[in-house]
Amino acid sequence: MSTAETLAHAVKAGQLLPSAAENIRAWQAVSLPDWARRSLEELIAKEAWSELNDRFFRYLEFGTGGIRGRTIGVVSTTDERGAASATGSPAHAAVGSNVLNDFTLLRATIGLYRYMEKYLASAHRFDRPKLVIAHDVRHFSRHFCELAASAWTRLGGSAFIFDGPRSTPQLSFTVRYLKAHAGVVITASHNPPHDNGFKAYFEDGAQVVPPHDKNIVNEVNAVPLTAVGEYLDIRKQGVVVLDASVDQAYLAVASRAAIDPALFKRASLKVVFTNIHGVGGVSAPPLMRSFGIDVTQVPQQAAFDPQFPTVKSPNPENAEALALAVALADEKKIDLVLATDPDCDRMGVAVRNRSGALELLTGNQIGALLADYRISKYKEIGWIPAGGSSRAALIKTFVTTPLQDAIGRNHGVKVINTLTGFKWIAAKMRAYEETLKRELLARSGIAIDYDATPFERRAKLLLEQSTFFLFGTEESYGYLPNDLVRDKDGNAACLMFCELAAWVKERGLTIPEHLDELYLKNGFYLEGVINLYYEGATGAAKIKRILETYRSAPPKAFGDVAVAKFEDFGRQTIVDSDGEEIPKQDLYFVTLANGYTFAARGSGTEPKMKFYVFGKADVKTPADLPAVKVAVKAELDRIRALIEADAKARAEG
């Protein structure tokens, strides 16, 4: 039986998806490298239909974080494995249209280049498209970085790369610093070791948003596989490797995260820090040490390693990922543990409570603590009025704790809720920047150089004529102190939390005690997350069923708790606090009769369905708080179990 007949038979037998068969035939029709051709033949000969379905049922698409997916198959071929590198990387990324490999990465690079070329021409800007690329420590990250840079220069653009791994926030800054037209980070953030990604940034240093993201996708989809072959060999001529001055410029900007540096001198702060084998070790320790903070790193996790061998997942929100750091902190009698994820845009924290034990904080709690502290400090130093201002904004995502909405209201500042993904927070910053430029030009004829304007002066101008960005945060452990960078920043987050810890220490409190102060002032809030993982083609169908049935048959009740309100962000018109319409998305927000709420959405970066559940209760006195915490947790757990059971039933149809 020929290969074509084998594929046709597998489709007829229901073993191979028609879309997978179609994509496999398309790949067979082009001139693949020998190793790739042999790999495809091996999988077909083995009748590895489940593997082929997962690899070929679709082409990778841009989500909230760009393109992200497997680089190593569940079943690897002989040629793909080859001779592994010193860090365990296979010889080649897996073959497939739904895999991040040389072929799909080049399609993304070529599509991005073509879009940028058209975008610049439409604006009558005829410079060569200028791209900055950073990468983390994952399998193939350096290779993908050099491959993309090589293709970009051969297409006619200018490409700039770093001499080694760098953090995502540094890429965001460097795009603006070099006045580049676009940026790319090769990373899969905290995903499992077998994943990698291609995250695209625009000229404002933020991840791409509409209409650019959809237009880039269209350009990528228009790139035929036949156009990729000539760029498969890496040519480094013309690719610029950035020097140390760019690192120093980023560290100078990250240091602006500190509002009251004098606190560090008085506190003599000690921290244990772990980069969990990722790029956080490049900038976070020197940044903290520059403020006199005593930083002890976890030796077993300090070295770059794409296999993340000491953890099940390199995710700083997981207790297991911080276990070595917590043990070291106990040994050294240090009260604060900080951890960053592989590309250092996210940060997790463990703090010592009054009884002497270290406890992990959630991303919601960290964000609430930082938001309240930073708004309070801005008032203290006179940057915003003591009573707040409607021209000062705390920006968060809809799926981030409503405790932060309460904090903003009580401080008298505007709270903006956005869709999930820091790119939407950055889009608001860009809008505030453009408003200021427009207002100044209209009123005084001044064309302001925004980045060159001192930060304090910018803040004053924004308060007067636009909106001053106070702080940005999302529940998934992402925080941004100011608009000098346009993506969440794990390096700056470490410094911000150290400043908060120094302030709390000076008051003679522990962080959990200060968190209770926030609850007494704003009400007690508790959050829970449901992650339903559905891998591959069959998993994608289950996620789709959940999303579609939420729209066609919205839930009416969960147990004895009725649904009081159902909001469909994909169909309804919903506006933010600026009066701007929220882009349509498959996001559902449900308010229950008991005052609890939850949001449901498919992850844009991982094969999972996510539910964010929020519980709350008023607290009248400190003595009431322990009982309130217990009651809210019990009810939240009960509601969460009901939501999860309903979702699993919907997934199965």
Catalytic residues: 189
3-state secondary structure of 154: helix
Please give the DSSP secondary-structure letter assigned to residue 315: -
Cα R_g (the chain), whole angstroms = 25
Do 72 and 63 touch, CB atoms closer than 8 A?
Answer: no
Do 540 and 534 touch, CB atoms closer than 8 A?
Answer: yes
Do 479 and 396 touch, CB atoms closer than 8 A?
Answer: no
Query: Which residues fall within 8 angstroms of residue 428, CB to CB, at 6 or more apart?
Result: 393, 395, 416, 418, 469, 578
Residue among 525, 526, 516, 424 at smallest CA distance from 473? 424
Do 640 and 530 touch, CB atoms closer than 8 A?
Answer: yes
Tell me the two tokens of residue 444.
């005084």
Residue among 65, 155, 64, 57 at smallest CA distance from 106? 155
B/e letters for 299-319, b = 16+ CB within 10 Å, e = fewer, are eebbebbbbbebbebbbbbbe
Residue among 400, 373, 627, 644 at smallest CA distance from 518? 373
C-alpha span between 288 and 271 (Å, rounded): 9
- Express the helix, strand and coil content of the chain in percent, nearest 5 each: 45, 20, 35
Q: Tell how far CA 212 is from the center of its chain.
A: 18
Beta strands at 587-592 and 597-602: parallel, antiparallel or unpaired: antiparallel
Q: DSSP letters along 407-458, please?
A: HHHHHTEEEEEE-SSHHHHHHHHHHHHHHHHHHHHHHH-----TTTS-HHHH
* 591 φ, ψ (degrees, to nearest 5): -105, 130
The arrangement of strands across the sheet holding 270-274 comes to: 294-297, 270-274, 336-340, 347-352, 358-360
B/e letters for 605-629, b = 16+ CB within 10 Å, e = fewer, are bbbebbbbbbbbbebeeeeebeebb
C-alpha span between 378 and 455 (Å, rounded): 13
Q: DSSP letters along 507-533, please?
A: TT--HHHHHHHHHHHH-EEEEEEEEEE
Query: Which residues fall within 8 angstroms of residue 82, CB to CB, at 6 or more apart?
Result: 35, 90, 91, 92
What torsion do the CA atoms of 127, 129, 135, 138 make, to the nearest 10 degrees? Answer: -170
3-state secondary structure of 20: helix
Beta bridge partners of 600: 588, 611
Tell me the two tokens of residue 501.
């810890």
Triad 343, 349, 353: Cα angle to 5°: 175
Q: DSSP letters along 359-407, please?
A: EEPPHHHHHHHHHHHHHHHHHHTTSS-TT-EEEEEEEEETTS-THHHHH
Q: DSSP letters along 542-611, please?
A: HHHHHHHHHHHS---EETTEEEEEEEETTTS--B-TTSPBPPP-SEEEEEETTS-EEEEEE-SSSSEEEE
CA atoms within 13 A on the CB side of 92: 20
